[in-house]
Every structure is written in structure tokens, then in C-alpha cells.
Structure 1
Amino acid sequence: MTESDTKEKIHTAITRSEHLWRTATGIARDTGLALETVIKTLETGDGFLQADHTNGRGQSLYTTREKYLSDTPWHRRLLDLIVNKVGV
């Protein structure tokens, strides 16, 4: 599988989710990709964002730039920009 294919699988898993933020573990489960591959792609691939907070289990949370922009209310995006929580 190419790097582009991997990125597309991850992007699709996030986009199709009802949740704005996803864990790497959940994405790996949904895509069938190795957790290490998912984490590397999320942290190095363009178009993915990492939340400044974690879930209840301390796991990092990720989304796509497009999903963040479409699913987050404008006032929340403005607040995030002001406090530099998400580099959109």
C-alpha cells in the first residue's frame, strides 16, 4: 500500500465518523492499518490536526482539517485560533 493510499484510508475513516475527533486506535481498528502506521501518518501527513486535549483515557485525538472546519462552530474556531489551540 502506498503512502497516498494509507493517507486516503485514514482520511476516509475520519470523514465518515460521527465524531469530530478520533483516536489513532479507533482509526487503526476502522482501517485495518497498523497503529504505528496510523500514528506516523497522522503526525506527518498534511491535512490532519491533533487536538490540544486527550480523551478520558489520555489518548491523543485527531481529525482532518476539512472536518474541523465544517463541523466546528465559527465561534469555537475563532476561540481556538485566538488561543492557538489548533493550527488551521
Structure 2
Amino acid sequence: MNESDAKEKIRTAIRQSKYVWRTPISLSKETQIPLEIVLTLLETSGAFMRAYNTNTSGQSVFTTAEKYIADSTWRHRLLDLLANKVGV
């Protein structure tokens, strides 16, 4: 699988998820892409956003701008911005 295909599988998994934010581990399990590759793509690709804060388990979480805007209310986005969770 090439990088473009892997990135698209991750984007699809995020888009189809009921959750706005996803951990690299959950994305790796769902897409069957090795965790190291998922982490590299999430960290280096401009297609993904990383929350400044971690989830309740201390894990980094990621999403796409499209998913964040589509599934978050304006109030939630404002609270995230004020809480310094995201940079959008």
C-alpha cells in the first residue's frame, strides 16, 4: 500500500467514525495499517489535525478539519479554542 492509499484509508476511517477525535491506535486497528505508518502520516501530513490536549487515557487524538467542522457545534469549537485544544 502506498502513502496516498494509506492516508485515504485513515481519512475514511475518521470521516465514518461516530467520534470526532481518534487515537492512532484505534485508526491502526481499524485500517489494518501498521501503527508506525499511521503515526507518521498523522504527524507529517497536512490532512490531519492533532488536539493540543490528550484524551482521558493520555493518548494523542487526531481528526480532519472536515470532520471537526462537520461534527462539532460552533459552541464546542469556541470552547476548544478557548481551552487551547485545537489551532483552528
Give the structure-1-normalised TM-score: 0.88
Give the aligned CA root-mean-square deviation in angstroms.
1.5
* Bigger share in strand: 1
- 5+ residue gaps in structure 2? none
Per the TM alignment, residue 83 of structure 1 is displaced from its structure 2 partner at its CA by 5.7
Q: Is 1:3 the counterpart of 2:30 in the alignment?
A: no
In the TM superposition, residue 4 of structure 1 has moved relative to its aligned partner by 0.8
| 2:53–2:85 CA contact under 8 A, matched in 1 | no
Whether 1:50 and 2:67 are equivalent positions in the alignment is no
**1:72 maps to which residue?**
72
How many angstroms does 1:82 deviate by?
Answer: 5.1
CA distance in structure 2 between the aligned counterparts of 1:25 and 1:78, rounded to whole angstroms = 28
Query: Matched residues in 2 for 1:84 and 1:54: separation?
Result: 12
Q: Which residue matches 2:87?
A: 87
Q: Which residue of the partner structure matches residue 31 of structure 1?
A: 31
Q: Deviations over 1:15-63 (max 9, x none)?
A: 1111111100000000000001001000111221111221222110111
Q: 1:78, CA displacement in angstroms? A: 3.0
Judge conservation of contact 2:52–2:84 (CA < 8 Å) in 1. Answer: no
Number of residue pairs matched by the alignment:
88
**Runs of at least 5 residues in structure 1 that lack an aligned partner in the other structure:** none
3-state SS of the aligned residue for 2:18?
A: coil
